[in-house]
Amino acid sequence: MEEIFTIRNADRKDIPLILALIRELASYERLADQVVATEALLEEWIFDKQKAEVLIAEEAGVPVGFALFFHNFSTFLGRAGIYLEDLLILPAHRGKGYGKRLLTHLAGIAVERGCGRLEWSCLDWNEPSIAFYLSLGAVPMDEWTTYRVTGEHLEALAGSKEK
């Protein structure tokens, strides 16, 4: 009997689906106005430059979610880790254990590749996700603050380097 839930690696034909799932996640996170990704950018950075990987979760062959991740590096551990940028299970499919199965699969990839850790960020107000992550043994990094430079500030910072 064929399993109803499967996880597979995304390929180029999934680019429109990946962008749609990114937009769905951004809408849930109240950040839809910040999505500037295009299919061309996703193809370039995920498949041509291979800077990220995507897992597609399917129920009976129908996409129900995704996980987008990439490798980072821990100088303290002296080896790579995996950073989970995005995880989404579509609302109609939540509560079936699919999110846990995606994270379990990703943890398996991390172990198989010899990575020292798996980490991600979660918005402070997202209590359902926080409770879910805590139930898996994840530990919040409360003593750390994430900083970001984008857009014109990134351009200005790049322009301030000594010539």
pLDDT tens per residue across all 163 residues of the chain: 457 999 999 999 999 999 999 999 999 999 999 999 999 999 999 999 999 999 999 999 999 999 999 999 999 999 999 999 999 999 999 999 999 999 999 999 999 999 999 999 999 999 999 999 999 999 999 999 899 999 999 999 999 765 5
The length of the chain in residues reads 163
Q: How far is CA 42 from CA 10, 12, 13, 38, 75, in A?
A: 12, 9, 11, 6, 29
Whether 133 is catalytic: yes
Structural domains of the chain ordered from first start: 5-159 (3.40.630.30)
29: left (phi over 0), alpha (psi -120 to 50) or beta: alpha
CB atoms within 10 A of CB 56: 20
* 53-59/5-9 β-pairing: antiparallel
Q: Do residues 23 and 37 lie in contact, with contact meaning Cβ atoms separated by under 8 Å?
A: no
Cα–Cα distance between 125 and 139 in angstroms, integer? 16
Residue from 28, 98, 133, 147 carrying the catalytic annotation? 133
What pLDDT digit, counting tens, does each position of 15-41 carry? 999 999 999 999 999 999 999 999 999
Burial status of residue 162 (CB atoms within 10 A of its CB: 0-12, 13-18, 19 or more): exposed
Strand stretches in 10-140, DSSP E: 53-59, 62-74, 79-89, 118-120
User: What global pTM score does this model have?
Assistant: 0.92
